[in-house]
Amino acid sequence: MADQPDQQALDEVVEFTSDLIRIDTTNRGGGDCQERPAAEYAAARLAEAGLQPTLLERTKGRTNVVARIEGTDPSADALLLHGHLDVVPAEARDWSVHPFSGEIRDGVVWGRGAVDMKNMDAMILAVVRDWARSGVRPRRDIVIAFTADEEASAEDGSGFLAEEHPGLFEGCTEGVSESGAFTFHDGSGRQLYPIAAGERGTAWLKLTARGRAGHGSKVNRDNAVTRLAAAITRIGEHDWPLRLTPTVRAALTELAALYGIETDLADVDALLDKLGPAAALVEATVRNSANPTMLDAGYKINVIPGEAVAHVDGRYLPGAEGEFRATLDRLTGPDVEWEFHHREVALQAPVDSATYARMRAAVEEFAPEGHVVPYCMSGGTDAKQFSRLGITGYGFAPLKLPEGFDYQALFHGVDERVPVEALHFGVRVLDRFLRTA
């Protein structure tokens, strides 16, 4: 039994990434997406490896794939390994290479989904096929899920699976998916590998101010536009207090140690200043946030409308939702109502777990020059939906990126691309982690 993926696995991860990019699964929201061809492609690759994938749809064409690999230890908890099949839109005219070409040029695979997250889907496929060839069986059961609709509401994807097919995930206690274990270059030669162990919650808000409609030339103390503008200003200018979750506390402590900075968690803003570029890994997750993003009121310049509406993109930390709500009540005041337009839970995963330690060890083995640190995602993933099944989610889709490849900028960005070498690293690290998990 080989202890590392074979050449075929290294070739296949590149081929599968490119093939999946060529299958256009653009998700424009509102149900405008077809994942089915990508799901059939993934299911066929799993079937070739002797697995029995199930295709599941809530809506025609919005296809999810689930398969289970039986582990050698039936008493062990199962591990969920999931990747979404849809991608965000891409405007071909802005790109150097057509975003759905999957072109491989100078050792780099180009296209929408190259880092988010057809790369990881391809890595999962390459690893399990390698195992089938070489007879590797993991200790734990591994449930593989390729999902639809992650880039919109997840209603046709992980939300649907968690709600209507919980039996497929029986025994799963932990999940692993996107947005972690990529190389973060700090600008001074250090390479960090952040592993996600938490996500902020989503609180997209609708604010409605009401007042007395009337002529724009008259005295009016009940102007809905004025009331809304005042509330929006208070929200936009609010200084949210520091709230350190266990993951962010661990991240700050480890980063401070790495950079030889005295850790003073009582003055986190000063600590962030001293961290330089690495502060980007934590600065969006030390507080709740609420950014006004949309305004809508009025229809004629000399008519005061009776109602004015705004939308706010709010995010709250694990354990801080109550405080978020109370703060919004206070900031909006008695004349403006607010409600959730869309709400998703915040997640917290332990960084002292055996699984976290195994992910860290797998990265350190293949990137000994790297420094693994935990972090909390500022946004969200399918892990939010799977958390309803009691599954703790980590972000671990390993990629070794050379300097100049800014993962965060490529994510949903123009000229999204991934080096072939990065995919090879990903397959090796994912294989090592899954074998030891």
Nearer to Zn ion, 116 or 130 (CB): 116
Nearer to Zn ion, 148 or 228 (CB): 148
- Least Å distance, CB 109 to Zn ion, is 17
Binding track, positions 1-40, relative to Zn ion; x by CB under 5 A: ----------------------------------------
CA distances from 132 to 13, 78, 123, 125, 285 (A): 15, 19, 14, 11, 41
Q: What is the side-by-side order of every strand in the sheet holding 417-419?
A: 104-105, 108-110, 417-419
Piece of the chain touching Zn ion by CB under 5 A; list 15-23, 116-124, 159-167, 221-229? 116-124
Q: How many residues does the chain have?
A: 437
Binding of Zn ion by 174 (CB under 5 A): no
Piece of the chain touching Zn ion by CB under 5 A; list 53-61, 117-125, 253-261, 350-358? 117-125
State which residue has the least CB distance to Zn ion.
116
Nearer to Zn ion, 416 or 431 (CB): 416
Nearer to Zn ion, 187 or 379 (CB): 379
254 is catalytic: no
HEC string of 125-139 equals HHHHHHHHHHCCCCC
Token pair recorded at residue 176: 């692993």
Give the three-class secondary structure for 84.
Answer: strand
Piece of the chain touching Zn ion by CB under 5 A; list 14-22, 128-136, 171-179, 335-343? 171-179
How far apart are alpha carbons 115 and 87 in whole angstroms? Answer: 10
- Least Å distance, CB 118 to Zn ion, is 10
150 is catalytic: yes
- Least Å distance, CB 178 to Zn ion, is 5
Q: What is the side-by-side order of every strand in the sheet holding 289-297?
A: 289-297, 307-316, 201-210, 336-344
Token pair recorded at residue 343: 């709400």
Q: Looking at 12, 19, 35, 86, which residue is catalytic? A: 86
Per CB under 5 A, the list member of 19, 141, 178, 344 interacting with Zn ion is: 178
How far apart are alpha carbons 411 and 319 in whole angstroms? Answer: 27
CA atoms within 13 A of residue 44's CA, in its CB half-sphere? 9
How far apart are alpha carbons 303 and 216 in whole angstroms? Answer: 5
- Strand-pair partners of 290: 314
Counting residues that bind Zn ion (by CB under 5 A) gives: 3
Report the candidate in 125, 127, 41, 34 with the shortest Cα–Cα distance to residue 87: 34
Nearer to Zn ion, 117 or 383 (CB): 117
Give the three-class secondary structure for 57.
Answer: strand
Per CB under 5 A, the list member of 66, 79, 117, 251 interacting with Zn ion is: 117
Binding of Zn ion by 116 (CB under 5 A): yes
Positions 277 through 296 that interact with Zn ion (CB under 5 A): none
Piece of the chain touching Zn ion by CB under 5 A; list 113-121, 211-219, 309-317, 382-390? 113-121
- Least Å distance, CB 179 to Zn ion, is 7
Task: Give the Cβ contact number of residue 163 at 10 Å.
Answer: 13
Q: Looking at 35, 116, 150, 178, which residue is catalytic? A: 150
Piece of the chain touching Zn ion by CB under 5 A; list 175-183, 272-280, 289-297, 340-348? 175-183
How far apart are alpha carbons 317 and 320 in whole angstroms? Answer: 5
As annotated, the active-site residues are 86, 150
Interface contacts to Zn ion, rule CB under 5 A:
116-117, 178
